[in-house]
Chains A and B, each alone.
Chain A
């Protein structure tokens, strides 16, 4: 499925999008059906001031004149484009999947390399590179920069082939792209000097292998793994004569001796330096085949002489290479010539143990075993060490460019100086921070980068051009309405901040140092700070210079001073670690970022919450409060993010309302200014406006419970007790956070809803979202059980999007799915249904989440959930929860049936009661008839009842069958019945063990949640009675008292479900009055109803409701027969 151009464009920066448009144009011109990477390459080459072309120029081999080579490149691109099949021209040929994949990859790599991004930024500003515009626009929503796009397009094998045809190596081009020209001169040196983090480096240090420098320094010159391993063996004290085992062993042996003799002698170290390779392979052959051992004697004498010399000079040695061991175990009569040789070699080994290495290869172990059988002591005498060789290098040559491809992707933190640091008057101080010496150069650079970012954020007025959008407000007035006093205030604030920073970084450094574990992987994610902030540099500059912000300024004409002061006071506690909770909050926030290796945009905003609060605080400070009273909310907010968000707008003072208005206006103006930015900024400002409520109204705590309860009860009228306890829990939660300044007890923000009433739970969740986060949309709702269910088609609940994630869940694990959703909505109520049915992965993730406050996905990335309220639901009741919900009451309409309700069209059938004699008894009693018909419990309607029952059975059945479906699929794989049995048996044990373990897990989980809330079953029977009454009165009114109305089971279920789902309480009555009433009137007019007529209201199975009545999930019209 190709992606549409517009969809693809939104991932790209303007410049990259322009390139893409160009590529699309190329595809259109050639009337190709899709836009592929090749089109993109063609477009990239043709762009004026093309980065790609420029990179090519730098990498092209000097063998050809550049004009020719470019011509060749154009040709080969053209030819491969010609090869693509053309189709009828499309307006905008959609983006092919491979290109789309390239875009995705570039997005990922851009996210991974904040520092190279950052560097690139520096360089682009230095070089006035074409990329400058591109990178400055990357937003918090990561847009792919042209450079990264090119890099990942070059990954495409087809593209690298095209480049290869023209004599370019795409890896070199990549290198050139990543490495700006300045660094070109010394690049080779610096690369060797400062190897990037590869696993090999990591493992090297694990093994301490660096100790003996046997590794080939010029690994990139193509010394392969086998040679490396051979030399490793040879460097050992004992067992130092490698005997290569394996089919490719001989080849590997050849390659090694070749490279030794070729004079790559530098590859050997220590004792091995200066050793010579002497081959006795030929001589062995002769000895074995012709019995001629003269030459062998000579050769060995020579060897001995050389060894003697080595011993004398104290250096060098002999690598005696006997080739294939097979030669020595020739089974023929000449075999006896071998044993003297073996003994001779053993003797040599004995004497010159330090100087002599034997070397050989053997096809397989079996042959070696035979050899050993013959010469039992050979392994010891020859000091042999078996070395399995599994592949030969030679097959790789030419097959794949041995590239330093990867290196181009490696962060270069350590390679370039970061000149911009020097501009900062504070950097001197920052740099003087005592940090552990053990942190290596690269790490320091990274820390510097982060430090700089940190200081940029905090040192707002010094770097107004570097400011992230959410701090810009503050920056505006500081930079604009500045006067001397204010600057002073700002300065003192700065110094306080810097002190805090110093401390913080020392802390971090220490932490990194004590637990080196965090070091390498975490730093990139930390230094991702610049990535968020970087993009806006030039933009902001533009804006400040163009003076757009004057509007905003005028919005806050006299607020700046107070804000200034206020910011200072707020900054102080925040940045000084002595106030433990604040610094803790900081650390935690950092921590949460630290552990996520590819932090997503949402996490960034999540993390940014504390920063972002400053403008808010300062704004609310204008509402006349004394600064000191604001410190507590600051700290709690730091912790909770926006958990209180909007506790109550109602009680906002007019003043703060006013400010909200300002803010909104402000956010409006901001959003118009940055069209691309608008989403993030407005989001943030919206947040801030809602936040200002609680901050300015602390007395809220008291009314909290009541207001929450009111809000919830409005939504779910029938769950009084549950509503009470939920609102109690939530207000407790809030209170706790406030009073303890957010000493976060884990699991505090977790609630569990137990028992029936799925809709009620869901409603409460969304109502909570409304209360806590200001919008009903702030719900992440996932049904953990439905992963393996096939969606019920046409369910009445489906339209409600109770289980609508089928599309997105494709090919993902449940926990990944949850993680993704959490990332999307960092401030939300997370509503996980049927937690008892969670699969193992989810169980594990939830376990960790409740303990650590971070939800890990299947790859171990973590998302902070401290700003969320997590609600898990379970319809089953575990042993620990004694409260019995169903008091063995016979329920006519259990929830299970209602959940199976379908969204069918209804129709009214007209029949006669004559066929059913017993019916006449009930003629007069409409209600009874209707009721009985509807509930089908009447004794004289066995038939209906049976039907109903069977349908009931069917429904429960399908519930179970749905679970079984995947397994029954698997059964296809078992050819015979016994396999079936096996599977069944196993299925049993599996489900048993699963249920056991999951039950205990569930109990453990529930024991950790803040509160368990039991839900009552929804009173379907009561509602049914009410509906029946309503209908019968309606019926009496419209068609008279004579006629009986029979309501089909399905219709009844449908109506109940609709009533359950509807927002308004009277919705069902309305519907009965309007829709059903109208239909009954029509029936009355259309048919001549006799007293014996029976009207039947039934569902048209298979016919889905087309038009819905307003306010309720029922048809707007009822068909007449």
Chain B
């Protein structure tokens, strides 16, 4: 029956290496976001690609509003995928929400992951007393109501902001995938993500991590990377990409894959 999950989430394995590498996309994108990164890794890795259940490319019927209220069901999905593929060790590259999912998954199954690479990761998006997550609760509510009011306008405004760098193709690609999501789902998932708080559990991570962060990212302030480095339980390194935006895999695939390669080899 596991196969159904693989079908439903469009799981694909590409590449011919002997090691597994999971590429997990973030919110508002789908697995196609990795396609500029893929060619560099296919010779040396077997790459597992999948879509989060909230992605526009997944049949929205699979999105159970009563189930996906926290990140844990997403983790379940990931672990189930790996289980049904018979993977017993893999490196994991996760972007944004998938970075969070990766963290949680590695807490649950530390031996399954040899390495976590977290792109644009944040344990908590909202500010707190002694934590700067980049967003205030009020701001977020505004964003949500903007999404509610006019999803399309929000997408059009948000996409360039998120992409950050002036790369029209990336903006276009991101808008496309973002718009593919059903508005109510993306709203719901955004709420889930903004409600999540991983700060307390970071210490449970035992897997070596590499935090990749761009120099300027609207959703993740630079301090967050430092926070992750000091709080993640495993051996953690931070790589700052000299570029802007939340989606380096769309805007600077070449640079990112170089860093990825370096991080994976360590």
Contact = CB atoms under 8 A, between A and B. Distances in A.
A405 interface: yes
B14 interface: yes
A200 B65 CA distance: 11
Given A206-B2, A366-B203, A840-B39, A112 B243 contact: no
Interface stretch (A513-521, A577-585, A907-915, A1099-1107): A513-521
B64 A200 contact: yes
A400 B147 CA distance: 13
B8 interface: yes
Contact of A158 (B38, B42, B149, B165): B149
Interface in B180-220: 182-184, 187-188, 191-192, 195-204
A629 interface: no
A859 B57 contact: yes
Contacts of B229: none
A202 B195 contact: no
B184 A405 contact: yes
Contacts of A391: 69-71, 192, 195-197
B179 interface: yes
Interface stretch (B19-27, B86-94, B112-120, B251-259): B251-259
Contacts of B1: 202, 205-206, 516
A207 interface: yes
A841 B35 CA distance: 7
A247 B4 contact: no
A222 B69 CA distance: 10
Interface stretch (A41-49, A764-772, A987-995, A1076-1084): A987-995
Which of A207, A246, A390, A983 counts the most chain B CB atoms within 10 A? A390
A245 B204 contact: yes
Interface in A179-204: 196-200, 202-203
Given A98-B152, A225-B69, A246 B3 contact: no
B197 A390 contact: yes
A1072 to B, nearest CB: 44
A394 to B, nearest CB: 9
A777 interface: no
Nearest to B167: A969
Contacts, number: 250
Contact of A970 (B149, B179, B252): B252
A220 interface: yes
Contact of B4 (A400, A517, A839, A993): A517
Given A98-B152, A220-B66, A224-B70, A388 B107 contact: yes
A521 B8 contact: yes
A966 B169 contact: yes
A229 B108 CA distance: 12
Contacts of B39: 839-840, 993-994, 997
Given A247-B199, A973-B252, A225 B73 contact: yes
Contact of B166 (A248, A362, A841, A972): A972
Contact of B3 (A222, A517, A982): A517
Given A365-B203, A369-B203, A400-B188, A983 B255 contact: yes
A844 interface: yes
Contact of A245 (B67, B200, B252): B200
B5 interface: yes
A966 B104 CA distance: 37
Interface in B104-159: 104, 107-108, 124, 128, 147-152
Q: How large is the interface on B (under 10, 10 to 19, 20 to 34, 35 or more residues)?
A: 35 or more
Interface in A385-424: 386, 388-393, 395-396, 399-400, 402-406, 409-411
A363 interface: yes
B223 interface: no
A409 B40 CA distance: 40
A161 B84 CA distance: 41
B258 A206 contact: no
A521 B71 CA distance: 25
Nearest to B192: A391
B36 to A, nearest CB: 8
B72 interface: yes
Interface stretch (A120-128, A254-262, A271-279, A809-817): A809-817
Nearest to B64: A198
B235 interface: no
Nearest to A972: B166
A980 B67 CA distance: 46
A247 B165 contact: no
Contact of B43 (A161, A364, A812, A997): A997
B234 interface: no
A388 B104 CA distance: 8
Nearest to A101: B152
B130 to A, nearest CB: 12
Contacts of B40: 990, 993
Nearest to B149: A158
A877 B14 CA distance: 27
Interface string B49-70: 0000100010111111111011
Contacts of B184: 155, 157, 160, 405
Contact of A973 (B32, B251, B258): B251
A406 B201 contact: no
B233 interface: yes
Given A206-B80, A409-B60, A974-B243, A388 B204 contact: yes
B76 interface: yes
Which of B53, B66, B252 counts the most chain A CB atoms within 10 A? B66
A392 B151 contact: no
What secondary structure prevails in chain B residues at the interface with A?
Answer: helix
B33 to A, nearest CB: 10
Contacts of A101: 151-152, 179
Contacts of B84: 206
B5 A203 contact: yes
A858 interface: yes
A986 B60 CA distance: 39
B38 A840 contact: yes
Contact of A364 (B104, B165, B200): B200
Interface in A948-989: 966-967, 969-970, 972-976, 979, 982-983, 986-987
Nearest to A155: B184
Contacts of A205: 1
Which of A157, A520, A973, A975 counts the most chain B CB atoms within 10 A? A973
Contact of A199 (B8, B65, B151, B167): B8
Contacts of A245: 200-201, 204
B10 interface: yes
Given A206-B1, A405-B65, A973-B244, A986 B254 contact: yes
A199 B64 contact: yes
Contact of B195 (A112, A395, A966, A967): A395
Contacts of A363: 200
A99 B62 CA distance: 23
A199 B108 CA distance: 20
Interface in A805-845: 810-813, 839-841, 844
A390 B196 contact: yes
A201 to B, nearest CB: 9
Contacts of B165: 970, 972-973
B69 A840 contact: no
A269 interface: no
Interface of B: 1-5, 7-10, 12, 14, 30-32, 35, 38-40, 42-43, 53, 57, 59-67, 69-73, 76-77, 80, 83-84, 100, 104, 107-108, 124, 128, 147-152, 165-169, 172-173, 175-176, 179, 182-184, 187-188, 191-192, 195-204, 233, 242-245, 251-252, 254-255, 257-258
7 contacts: A225-B72, A390-B71, A390-B201, A517-B4, A811-B173, A967-B254, A973-B244
Given A198-B62, A405-B184, A411-B61, 10 more contacts: A97-B152, A199-B73, A202-B2, A222-B66, A390-B201, A404-B65, A859-B10, A859-B57, A974-B242, A975-B242
State the 5 A-B residue pairs at the shortest beta-carbon distance, nearest first.
A365-B203, A517-B3, A388-B201, A364-B200, A157-B148
